Each structure stands twice: as structure tokens, then as C-alpha cells.
Amino acid sequence: MAEFTMELNDEQKEVRDWIHGFAADVVRPAAAEWDEREETPWPVIQEAAKIGLYSLDFYAQQFFDPTGLGVPMTMEELFWGDAGIALSIVGTGLAAVGVLANGTEEQIGTWVPQMYGDPNDVKVAAFCSSEPDAGSDVASMRTRAVYDEAKDEWVLNGTKTWATNGGIANVHVVVAVVDPDLGSKGHASFIVPPNTPGLSQGQKFKKHGIRASHTAEVVLEDVRVPGHCLLGGKEKLDERLARAREKAKAGGVGVPPAGGWGRVKNAAMATFEASRPAVGAMAVGTARAAYEEALEYARTREQFGRPIIDNQGVAFQLADMRTQIDAARLLVWRASWMATTGKPFTSAEGSMSKLFASEVAKKVTAQAVQILGGNGFTREYPVERMHRDAAIYTIFEGTSEIQRLVIARTLSGMPIR
């Protein structure tokens, strides 16, 4: 088991500097263009693939880093470059995590490589959980998966929304209801292979921020997938559903699950729990980028015959911004280290890291705009885009309110609503 440390080793520093160089030399120069175009930056993804940055091997190395710091370090540097382009590069990872969290070794080996493709033919993947009437409230999910025993196929029907890479993905991972009587316990995840009939892209959203990342609805109409596309397999699902039914009969309404109300697990939550510290690292990257822009501006911008950083009103803001960014990073690193070393989130540390870092990103980017004044409000300076991008962190993969609910339930053991 790796000892916790706040010092990156030489190999990690080398990887960090490599990613930072790509973010500085390739991502940042392209950021404004793809933000305006609101299109997937395929050329940038391909460049990332050519150098091995967009690949299963690279993310596997970071995912299995024994210190737990490989993934947050990667996310921070890429999102320091630009959040929209970075999300296009790492968005496939959420689907991959969905398979890693719920799939068998055979499923992982079969489907995860197809999510990335190769440098000459890059692919992306999509994780589809949210629905028009079921975002944070996963228990209200309506997309159904019905087993056709005669053909050993699952038939999926429903509409997913807010899906990163939805409709343009090579592989879709879809969370669906298999037993509606069990609420969120009756969910399962399915692989929808490439070119499966019945899956189509619905509305593509025009967004406030992260515009270079493709976000759309995914419509499922009598989508048939082979039985082996059920993540984890049917035997494991049947056992899990049987246990849930027995607990429901024995406990009834109002009885907390084993481990307390904050530790309910289902197919979607297993994915989000694994990815929340990574989202916190994304927020840290954006916040850090905005802080650095504001610091440089404050050093060079003169008013009343001196740099504006000479004024306490500006200097103290920068001091607070840096302090909050460092605190957010430490929460992210702690949660990432705990997850990697098998330490349970007994106080919802994963949600803590995502909550704090996302709130810091919103606050720091707003302060950066304020420090730049009128210039910060224009698209001539990147803090305007960073401020728009930062808004997503308190929304996706569990809003700040949901994170607080998870934390409060975990700490209290009560079904707080």
C-alpha cells in the first residue's frame, strides 16, 4: 500500500510536464476557435492520440498509479489548458470507468479498447445515465431494459440526456431499469455496440460553457443488445436483485441500507463515486488557469501610476484564490489516494472533494473576471471562457446540492431529504 505523500515522484513530474506541454502548445491555441465553433475538436483529439495521451494504455497507467495521483494530475493539467477541449479528450473516460466499475474482465478487455480506437481512426464513448425527468434523482429513471430469454437479448427503450459524446460515440454505456419495484437498486448498465439499430442522437445542446464538448440526447427505440452486453453478467445481476428484494421485504420503507443512507450503491452511482475526485481535479485545473491569468494581469496592468496588484483589494483576492485552489487540490488528492488504496469514504470524502473544488472554480473564475474588469468581460481574454466553463462543475456528475446531501447522509446515517 502506497504511503500518502504530497510530493510527486520523478516519473509523475515527467508525465505532468509532458501533459502540461501538450495543454500549453496544442490545447490553449485552439481553445477559442473550438469554443466558438461548438464542435468536437477531432484534430486535437487525434493529436493527443498520436502522442499516446488519448489512449487506453495511458489512462490505465494513470488509473492504476499506486499513489492515486495519476488521474487527478492528468485532469488538472488538461483542464488548465481548456475545459471544453479537455472534456472532449477525457469524456470517453466516464464510459470506461462505467465498464471498469461494473464489468467483467472479459467485458473490460473487449469494449474499453473500442472506445478509443487508434491514432489513425480515433473513437469516443458515451456514458448515458441522466434522463429528461431523472437527473440527480436516479430512482426516477424510466429507460427500461427487458430480457428476451428466447434470444438471450436485452431490449432497451427510453431517452437519455446530457450525454457527453452522445450519438457520436462508437460505444455507448447505458444505465437502465431492470426491476422498477426496486427503485435505484433495480438498475443495471449495458453496452450498446457500434452501429446498433434503434440508437440515435436526439437534440444536441448549445451550452453556456464547455462548448467544444459534444452534449446530446440519446434515443433508444427497441435497441437489442446481446446478453453478454449486460455489464457484470446476468448471474451477478440476478443475485443482486434477489438480495435487494429480500432486504425490501425484511426492512420495508424507511429502513436504511447496510452502511447507512449515504452508501447506497447502483450502476450509475458506482461510476459517479469513482469519478467525482477526477471532476474535482478538472475544476482545480480551470481555477488555476484563471488565477494565473489574473495574477499576471494584476502584475502588468497599471492604474494611478502603479500595478493594480499593489492595491490590497486586488492582492488579497489573489491570496484567497490561491489558498482555495491549494485546499481544493488537497481534498482531491486525499480522495483519490483513499480510493486507490481501498480506504472507504466513511465521510463521503469523494463528494467533499468534488463539492469544494467545483465551488472554488466558480468563485475563482468570477474573481478573475472582476480583477480584469472590462477586459475580463470580453472574449479577447480567456477568463471569460473559463468563467463560463466553470459553471458546469457544480452541475454535472451530481450538483453541489446532491453532494451536500450525500455528505450529510453519510455523516448522520439518516435519510435526509
Between strands 306-307 and 302-303, the pairing is antiparallel
* Contacts (Cβ under 8 Å, ≥6 apart) of 346: 410
Which residue bears the cell 468563467?
Answer: 387
C-alpha cell at 411: 455523516
CA-CA-CA-CA dihedral for 392, 216, 82, 51, to nearest 10: 140
C-alpha cell at 250: 425484511
Q: Considering only CA atoms, which of 2, 25, 8 is closest in space to residue 329?
A: 8
Q: What angle do CA 358, 360, 365 make, to 5 degrees?
A: 100
The number of residues in the chain equals: 417
Indicate if 397 belongs to the active site.
yes
Q: What are phi and psi of 9, to 5 degrees?
A: -80, 175
Asked whether 199 and 218 are in contact (CB, 8 A), the reply is yes
Asked whether 90 and 76 are in contact (CB, 8 A), the reply is no
Q: Considering only CA atoms, which of 21, 97, 15, 24 is closest in space to residue 60?
A: 97
At 16 the three-state DSSP class reads helix
Q: Looking at 47, 77, 349, 397, which residue is catalytic? A: 397
Asked whether 356 and 282 are in contact (CB, 8 A), the reply is no
Tell me whether residue 77 is exposed, middle or buried, using C-beta atoms within 10 angstroms of its C-beta: 0 to 12, 13 to 18, 19 or more: buried
CA-CA-CA-CA dihedral for 299, 304, 305, 311, to nearest 10: -40
Rounded CA-CA distance 172/208 in Å is 25
Q: What angle do CA 187, 261, 351 make, to 5 degrees?
A: 85
- Residues assigned a catalytic role: 397
